[in-house]
Amino acid sequence: MSGTDLAAEINRQTAARAAVLSMTPTLATVLVGDDPGSAKYVQMKQRRCAQYGLASRHVHLSAETGTDELVAVLGELGADPRVHGILLQHPLPPQIDERRAFDAVPIQKDVDGTSAASFAAAALGRPGHRSCTPAGIVRLIDHYAIAMAGADVAVVGRSSILGKPLAAMLTQRDATVTVCHSRTVDLGAHTRRADIVIAAAGRPGLITGDMIKPGATVVDAGFTPGDVAPEVHDVAGAFTPVPGGVGPMTIAVLLSQTVDAAETSS
Ligand code: NAP
């Protein structure tokens, strides 16, 4: 299941939608601290914006920034009519109250779908911006015509940006969802039963061939080298590569939701 191909198609549509607007859809990226990985992801998102006709504005705050200061910056961006979407890059430094920060992004501009209000909208199937990685995974599964309704799905990971919203979205799509995490006893017993396994734990090689039902669909949300061991590809009916699977979909959803936000603001 190539995320690169589907993301390219979504990005072409995003660029076409951006081109007919009276303003340039603008994504504000906010980075707190100097984590090189996070800085790289933000740069990649800015590059993609430029590539597909969106503008970006970057705010870089020091690693010592407190929650009040960050919330104030997010409030200013929230009130600025020239900014259509706001992305607060995570993870955040430990002194920051992450939930307060995510929830300081107004729901209309929460194009990364990380606020509690966006989570609730996703869980209830209401309109709103979705958490990008889970939404990208759902789009990939749909694109490859893999049935979600009635499917047994094992989601491995329960973070607030990935596992939890994904489980909520899949439940909305009539899947029977099991959410696994670090305290799950006998992970393999859950994954072996599943028609679709989604690995979102950040533990390279966690999912091995003997944990997969032959023919099952396996989605790997991990960054290189991925949470799924290579031998799984011989057992699975369909799988996402790493790289080129979930990663490009996350950015494609982010850009597409930024244009959604610009469209509704005009
Ligand atoms: P996270 O916040 O660290 O959460 C990891 C989750 O995995 C936690 O719920 C944890 O359980 C669970 N877990 C850890 N070890 C486990 C084990 N041995 N067995 C079962 N569950 C285990 O990570 P995240 O932000 O959700 O990201 C997950 C992965 O997706 C990472 O590899 C990350 O790099 C990747 N990611 C990719 C994209 C993309 O665009 N491709 C975007 C975001 C994240 P507990 O809750 O019990 O601790």
Sorted by where each starts, the structural domains of the chain and their CATH numbers stand as: 21-107 (3.40.50.10860), 132-247 (3.40.50.720)
Does the CB atom of residue 156 touch ligand 1 within 6 A?
yes
Instruction: Supply the mean pLDDT for the chain.
Output: 98
Q: Which long-range contacts (CB under 8 A, 24 or more apart) does 145-149 make?
A: 146/196, 146/217, 146/238, 148/173, 148/174, 148/175, 148/196, 149/173, 149/174, 149/175
The whole-model pTM stands at 0.98
The answer to whether 264 touches 114, Cβ cutoff 8 Å, is no
Ligand 1 atom nearest the C-alpha of 227 is 32
The token duo for 227 is 């949470």
Q: Is 206 in the pocket of ligand 1 (CB under 6 A)?
A: yes
Residue 266, pLDDT above cutoff 80:
no
pLDDT digits 0-9 by tens, 8-51: 999 999 999 999 999 999 999 999 999 999 999 999 999 999 99
**What atom of ligand 1 comes closest to residue 91's alpha carbon?**
25
Kindly state the average pLDDT of the residues 98-111: 98
Which among 58, 120, 112 has a CA at the least distance from the CA of 85? 112
- The CB of 219 under 6 Å from ligand 1? The reply is no
Ligand 1 midpoint to CA 200 (Å): 5
Q: Note the pLDDT tens digit of each residue in 139-179.
A: 999 999 999 999 999 999 999 999 999 999 999 999 999 99
